[in-house]
């Protein structure tokens, strides 16, 4: 980036009084120190977006893209149709840029970490060295993750696979980012997606070239800097013709995060004969027993099966967050393309989740499968919201949907809203739904056979979720089971 | 009745309520190792309440009395601890549990009991061999093992499944709560065969039934009649025949007299 461009940006920033103050304050150290500023005061306007973009050394087109999204966002209103209830969010009270914390602020060792958090790690069976990393202990002091990540990256590079942070991709592969970004989730798509497009912090970028099968599960865990993607994460995954990739997002350990609002966007693109498998285990802080302090998770995830015979599968296990608003979807554009959605969502205490999927059938012989398992305990409220659309050209499209709810106790709730819109008479849809309750009689029956209540609940819950768990990569599935049992501790008996 | 220290189970002056209503009003019962006791009584007399008291179901609220099981205070033990100590209930109304395979429940239960006894857990293959052999005794299709626990089972299949679990878990004290009701004569014979196969010196049974018919196949050592919250009468197997002929009213007249 050259100097005149940078100066132009400071000028734009000066339009905003707050940024104006900030730049004035910093002026004596000159512009360079200005972008080394570690965080912005709360507030959002064009100056803030310019600051973020400059901070990331982004090319002009990226800034323009962000600004366009921001200007559109200003004209939008926050959606209210979801069955979740939370106090109004003050978007001017949020700080939109915070640099990764330096190692100096991080806990120096596990002794400095909240014992309750450590106890949870222990229950989940997370290896000692990983616990430290998760709790934010300065990683280099514990184990050399960087070298692991580097060998991993070399292996992928040999195959022509790109796997890096989103910021890095903007710098190193701008043509690819430009070609695909916003083509699945347009900046104008919805309120939270528009906000994300304007202010996104970082995220992941994956590109698997034609004919390449990615030989390992890609996990953010192995990506350097993964810990600090921030509250507005942006992910883009592209599988070219015949490519295959399995991507794992998240982590079963409860992630600490001071930001309450999270609005991520994930875009997947599968070309002819390509397959993308995207698995998530989300376990953000759900808040205390009364729901205080939990994360609001408003995510837009969408995959485009752009090519013929392409396939996209979403598998998610959602146990965290105070509020979840999330509908991983598939646009089945290519003929014979396949979309799948396998979901387990758990709400306990005061957690609320409105989640589901959209399957949009455009091409001929497109097929989709929806398996949704909702578990509510305590005062948890859960809504399944699913839409299956079959457009006029979707000859012989097929959908199978199954939505099951499991209730524990009598203060929680489960709601199901399936929307169906069929424009082609050859389309075929099947929908099954059930609601069951973990009754005290079931627990007693299992107690009477020698099982304690915790094992009894786990057995019932795992049985209920098995169709989803078997879609997860093996070690993830084992972790997910443990996670559910920890999340449900004390929910019965 | 004596407070025999050789008893496997000593129920002494137990009072219990269900839904706030007193049901058991001073019940005594002594069961020695190897004995088969039949408990008969009209509908609503508290037979299932007794089973719930013994197995620790919270709907049966014990208000007085004590129960010793293997010499220890039964009420100190949680329901799963009673199960691990060899107490088994074949439920009058077996509960459906979608999502858990019959074989999974049996293996988890058996391993919990073995673990409690300090024995090693059985691996999947050894376990399956045992489970299949027991299913054969009851002329049950092996496919029943992989079906969800009682889920969509017919009434008769549920009862037979209870007996299968009993055969696999090999309890010390088995309580059968109207396992015969809803069974045709052939099924009844098969169930009786399963129970008789398990009869042993160190194993006792409490067989709750409405009908004398079952006792032709499972011959009891003692027959008790439960009425008005107590054991109103005890006798040998002929008492069951007498009841069958005269009805419970005869007994209530006697009790009120
Ligand atoms: N949970 C409960 N709440 C209220 N009443 C109950 C409950 N359980 C049992 N009862 C009542 O207690 C009495 C005895 O029931 P039960 O022991 O099941 O009788 P039996 O098995 O001899 O037919 C009945 O009047 C029944 O309605
Ligand atoms: Mg009964």
Distance CA A70, CA A187 (A): 9
pLDDT greater than 80 at residue A22:
no
Contact at CB, A463 and B105, closer than 8 angstroms: no
pLDDT greater than 60 at residue A135:
no
Q: So what's the pLDDT on residue A124? A: 60
pLDDT greater than 90 at residue A378:
no
Verify whether ligand 1 is closer than 6 Å to residue B59 (CB atom).
yes
Side-chain half-sphere CA neighbours of B191 within 13 A = 27
Contact present, A350 and A379 (Cβ < 8 Å) = yes
- Tokens representing residue A126 in the block: 């997370």
Residue ranges of E strands in A255-366: 261-262, 265-270, 275-282, 296-305, 311-318, 323-326, 329-332, 338-347, 352-361
The distance in angstroms from the start CA to the end CA of chain A is 62
pLDDT digits (tens, 9 = 90+) for B54-64: 999 999 999 99
What residues in B contact A452, CB-CB < 8 Å? 78, 80, 112
pLDDT digits (tens, 9 = 90+) for B223-253: 999 998 999 989 998 888 888 888 777 766 5
Could you tell me the pLDDT band of residue B167, with boundaries at 50, 70 and 90?
very high
Average pLDDT score, chain A:
80
Contact present, B176 and B207 (Cβ < 8 Å) = yes
Q: So what's the pLDDT on residue A32? A: 28
Contact present, A19 and A35 (Cβ < 8 Å) = no
Runs of H (alpha helix) within A366-452: 440-448
pLDDT greater than 60 at residue B89:
yes
Could you tell me the pLDDT band of residue A27, with boundaries at 50, 70 and 90?
very low
The distance in angstroms from the start CA to the end CA of chain B is 21
pLDDT greater than 90 at residue B53:
yes
Report in angstroms the alpha-carbon separations of B149 from A445, A455, B180: 11, 16, 19
User: Which of A66-70, A77-81, A159-163, A333-337 is predicted with the least confidence, judged by mean pLDDT?
Assistant: A77-81
pLDDT greater than 60 at residue B175:
yes
| B151 → chain A, closest CA residue | A442
pLDDT digits (tens, 9 = 90+) for A154-179: 788 899 999 888 988 999 999 999 99
Contact present, A227 and A196 (Cβ < 8 Å) = no
Contact present, B134 and B166 (Cβ < 8 Å) = no
Q: Could you say which DSSP state residue B174 is in?
A: E
Could you tell me the pLDDT band of residue A472, with boundaries at 50, 70 and 90?
confident
- Testing the interface with A: which of B74, B95, B102, B164 to mutate, by most A Cβ within 10 A? B95
pLDDT digits (tens, 9 = 90+) for A233-282: 899 999 999 999 999 887 655 555 556 788 899 999 999 999 999 998 87
pLDDT greater than 70 at residue A18:
no
Could you tell me the pLDDT band of residue B99, with boundaries at 50, 70 and 90?
confident
Residue A163 CB contacts under 8 Å (≥ 6 apart), including other chains: A153, A156, A204, A205, A206, A218, A223
* Minimum CA distance residue for ligand 1 atom 10: B18
Q: So what's the pLDDT on residue B253? A: 57
Pick the more confident residue, A55 or A274.
A274
In ligand 1, the atom with minimum distance to the C-alpha of B178 is: 21
Q: So what's the pLDDT on residue A123? A: 64
Could you tell me the pLDDT band of residue A106, with boundaries at 50, 70 and 90?
low
User: Which of A16-30, A171-185, A350-364, B238-252 is predicted with the least confidence, judged by mean pLDDT?
Assistant: A16-30
Contact present, A337 and A272 (Cβ < 8 Å) = no
Contact at CB, A450 and B104, closer than 8 angstroms: no
> From the CA of B58, which ligand is nearest?
1
Distance CA A25, CA A20 (A): 8
Runs of H (alpha helix) within B12-73: 47-55
pLDDT greater than 80 at residue A25:
no
A41 backbone φψ class: left, alpha, beta (φ>0; ψ -120 to 50): beta
Q: So what's the pLDDT on residue B6? A: 84
Distance CA B134, CA B194 (A): 9
User: Which of A31-35, A46-50, A417-421 is predicted with the least confidence, judged by mean pLDDT?
Assistant: A31-35
Strand, helix or coil at A331? strand
- DSSP letters, B179-218, are TTTT--HHHHHHHHHHHHHH--TT-EEEEE-S-GGGGGTS
pLDDT greater than 90 at residue A403:
yes
Angle at B139 between CA B136 and CA B141, to 5 degrees: 80
Mean pLDDT (whole number) for B189-213 = 92
Side-chain half-sphere CA neighbours of A364 within 13 A = 1
Question: Residue A228's CB: how many other CB atoms inside 10 A?
Answer: 12
Verify whether ligand 1 is closer than 6 Å to residue B194 (CB atom).
no
């Amino acid at each position: 980036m050259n100097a005149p461009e940078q100066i132009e940006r400071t000028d734009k920033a000066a339009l905003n009084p707050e940024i104006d103050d900030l730049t004035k304050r910093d002026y004596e150290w000159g512009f360079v120190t200005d972008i080394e500023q570690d965080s912005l005061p709360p507030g959002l306007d064009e100056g803030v977006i310019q600051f973020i973009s400059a901070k990331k050394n982004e090319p002009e087109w990226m800034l323009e893209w962000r600004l366009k999204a921001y200007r559109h966002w200003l004209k939008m209103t926050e959606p209210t149709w979801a069955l979740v209830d939370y106090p109004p969010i003050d978007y001017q009270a949020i700080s939109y840029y915070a640099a990764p914390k330096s190692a100096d602020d991080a806990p120096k060792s596990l002794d400095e970490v909240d014992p309750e958090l450590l106890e949870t790690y222990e229950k989940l069976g997370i290896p000692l060295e990983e616990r430290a990393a998760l709790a934010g202990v300065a990683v280099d002091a514990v184990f050399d993750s960087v070298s692991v990540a580097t060998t991993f990256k070399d292996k992928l590079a040999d195959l022509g696979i790109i796997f890096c942070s989103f910021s890095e991709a903007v710098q190193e592969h701008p043509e690819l980012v430009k070609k695909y970004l916003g083509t699945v989730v347009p900046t104008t798509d919805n309120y939270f997606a528009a906000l994300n497009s304007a202010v996104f912090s970082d995220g992941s970028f994956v590109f698997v070239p034609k004919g390449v099968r990615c030989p390992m599960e890609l996990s953010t865990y192995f990506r350097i800097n993964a810990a600090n993607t921030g509250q507005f994460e942006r992910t883009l995954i592209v599988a070219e013709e015949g490519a295959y990739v399995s991507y794992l997002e998240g982590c079963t350990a409860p992630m600490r995060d001071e930001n309450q609002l999270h609005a991520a966007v994930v875009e997947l693109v599968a070309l002819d004969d390509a397959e993308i498998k995207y698995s998530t285990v989300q376990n953000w802080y759900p808040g205390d027993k009364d729901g205080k302090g939990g994360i609001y998770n408003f995510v837009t995830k969408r995959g485009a099966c752009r090519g013929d015979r392409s396939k996209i599968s979403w598998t998610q296990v959602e146990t965290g967050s105070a509020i979840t608003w999330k509908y991983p979807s598939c646009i089945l554009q290519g003929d014979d393309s396949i979309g799948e959605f396998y979901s387990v969502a758990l709400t306990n205490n005061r957690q609320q989740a409105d989640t589901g999927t959209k399957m949009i059938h455009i091409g001929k012989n497109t097929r989709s499968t929806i398996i949704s398992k909702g578990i509510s305990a305590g005062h948890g409220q859960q809504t399944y919201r699913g839409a299956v659309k079959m457009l006029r050209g979707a000859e012989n499209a097929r959908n199978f949907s199954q939505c099951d709810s499991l209730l524990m106790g009598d203060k929680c709730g489960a709601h199901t809203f399936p929307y169906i819109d069929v424009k082609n008479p050859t389309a075929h849809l099947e929908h099954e739904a059930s609601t069951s309750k973990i009754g005290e009689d079931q627990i007693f029956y299992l107690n009477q056979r020698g099982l304690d209540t915790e094992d009894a609940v786990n057995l019932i819950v795992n049985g209920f979720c098995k169709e989803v768990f078997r879609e997860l990569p093996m070690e993830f599935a084992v972790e997910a089971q443990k996670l559910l049992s920890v999340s449900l501790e004390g929910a019965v008996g | 009745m004596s407070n025999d220290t050789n008893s496997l189970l000593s129920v002494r002056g137990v009072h219990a309520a269900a839904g706030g209503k007193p049901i058991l009003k001073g019940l005594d019962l002594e069961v020695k190792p190897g004995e088969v006791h039949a408990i008969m009584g009209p509908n609503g007399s508290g037979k299932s309440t007794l089973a719930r008291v013994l197995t620790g179901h919270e709907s049966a609220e014990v208000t007085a009395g004590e129960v010793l099981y293997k010499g220890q205070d039964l009420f100190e033990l949680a329901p799963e601890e009673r199960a691990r100590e060899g107490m088994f209930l074949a439920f009058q109304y077996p509960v459906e549990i979608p999502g858990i395979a019959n074989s999974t429940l049996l293996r988890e239960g058996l391993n919990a009991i073995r673990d409690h006894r300090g024995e090693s857990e059985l691996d999947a293959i050894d376990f399956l061999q045992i489970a299949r052999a027991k299913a054969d005794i009851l002329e049950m299709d092996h496919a029943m093992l992989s079906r969800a626990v009682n889920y969509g089972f017919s009434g008769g299949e549920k009862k037979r499944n209870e007996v299968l679990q009993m055969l696999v878990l090999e309890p010390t004290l088995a309580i059968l709560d109207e396992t015969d009701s809803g069974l045709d004569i052939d099924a009844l014979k098969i169930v009786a065969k399963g129970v008789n196969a398990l009869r042993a010196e160190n194993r006792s049974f409490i067989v709750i039934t409405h009908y004398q018919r079952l006792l032709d196949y499972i011959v009891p050592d003692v027959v008790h009649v439960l009425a008005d919250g107590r054991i109103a009468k005890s006798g040998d197997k002929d008492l069951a025949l007498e009841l069958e002929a005269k009805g419970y009213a005869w007994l209530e007249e006697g009790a009120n007299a």
